[in-house]
Chains A and B, each alone.
Chain A
Amino acid sequence: MTYRMTVSPDFSPDFIAGWYIFNTWLQNQLSEAIHLELFDSFDDQRKEIQEDKIDLIFANPYDASTLIRDKGFIAVAAPSGKADEAVICVGTDSDISCVEDLKENCNVSMADDPEVNTIGMIMLEPADLNKGNVNISELSNYVMVAKSLINQQSDVGFFLKESYDNMSKFIKSQIRPIIASEISVITHSFLVGPQLINRVDDIRKLLNDMHNLEKGPGVLASLGFEHWVNQEQEDAEFMIDLMDTLIT
């Protein structure tokens, strides 16, 4: 049997090759056939999840909720030092210096990243702004969000902090962060589906020892982090509870 693995579509394009390398490494370690399927959109991936076609997933906290509570997935690990944070930026020449400078009907650009967009909207709340009183443009990626700020089509833009950090110097010279989240507790997780339930302990041990195993550090470097940290089911459940508090 060939199992299917996927990755939340909000990962940085810089790490596409890394996920293929990781997939090969995992197949060798587990002696199981695993096909890596990457999706361009959250909708396409969620359709596959709903149809029970995914067995392993590096999931964002939003999808982790459905996967764990509705689909019986088990959390085994999270990347070390890679909490999901959001940054709100304006164009360099903007008059806006803090969130409270923003007014109703301002133009907000964002990518199709529900978690970042939720955190971003929370950071606009101190200015009495919400989805109902701002003009939202959902763009295809974070470079387009930056462009909308540079072209003055938007007043503010939301970025995944990792994506903002990885932007070119040229783009970063034309946008300016006004606030960054420091939430720390929200992170992507590696989840194992019901079809592989008998290999959960093996996968947990493998990932948590990965940085000590042959070729492990190199594979981890290609994913952009140094090691996995163990994530028990209760850790993931609590994170889902926290996400629930943010959706209000």
Chain B
Amino acid sequence: MTDIQLNYHDGTSDNRNVIDEEVPFPEGKLIVSRTDAKGVITHCNQAFVDISAFSESEIIGKPHHLLRHPDMPAAAFKDLWETIESKSKWNGYVKNLRKDGKYYWVYAVVVPNIRKGKVVGYASVRRKPSRTKIDECTELYKTMLAQENEQ
């Protein structure tokens, strides 16, 4: 177990335990959450609660970076936000951090909730990724993270 300080793009930081142990994605399920336009979680389903190891009350009202794993490069989330803020759909593979420090991989799709032409929030649905894609992204994100750390 490693204790790591995570610094987020909004200027906040958090000390989190990180354990190098993967938790499998639940078979047949989709992990669903909804945020407001600022990325604060307003809704999540039971699969989200189960896989993240947080309780629902610990999730609702928190920013989505609650799940951010230190192995994820900042560039991936920058791309996500630039895409959805331009009212487009984003998809990608994400390594998420659980409350207990373990991790799980997802294939995530995020869409803006557009009502009367205005973005009122975002819906995110995660599904089970293939092992091939996880292996590819593990290598890719390592490289991206190394480049970010050099800068």
Contact = CB atoms under 8 A, between A and B. Distances in A.
Interface in A104-159: 122-123, 125-128
A179 interface: yes
Given A180-B28, A182-B29, A237-B113, A122 B45 contact: no
A185 to B, nearest CB: 6
Given A245-B110, A246-B125, A248-B89, A126 B29 contact: no
A245 B45 contact: no
A179 B113 contact: no
A125 B125 contact: no
B66 interface: no
B89 A245 contact: yes
Given A180-B28, A245-B110, A248-B89, A185 B45 contact: yes
A125 B130 contact: yes
A126 B125 CA distance: 16
Contacts of B91: 248
A179 B27 contact: yes
B128 A125 contact: yes
B22 to A, nearest CB: 14
Nearest to B108: A245
B103 to A, nearest CB: 17
B123 A242 contact: yes
24 contacts: A100-B131, A122-B127, A125-B128, A126-B129, A126-B131, A127-B130, A128-B132, A128-B133, A179-B27, A181-B28, A182-B26, A182-B47, A183-B29, A185-B45, A234-B115, A237-B113, A241-B111, A241-B123, A244-B89, A244-B111, A245-B109, A248-B89, A248-B91, A248-B109
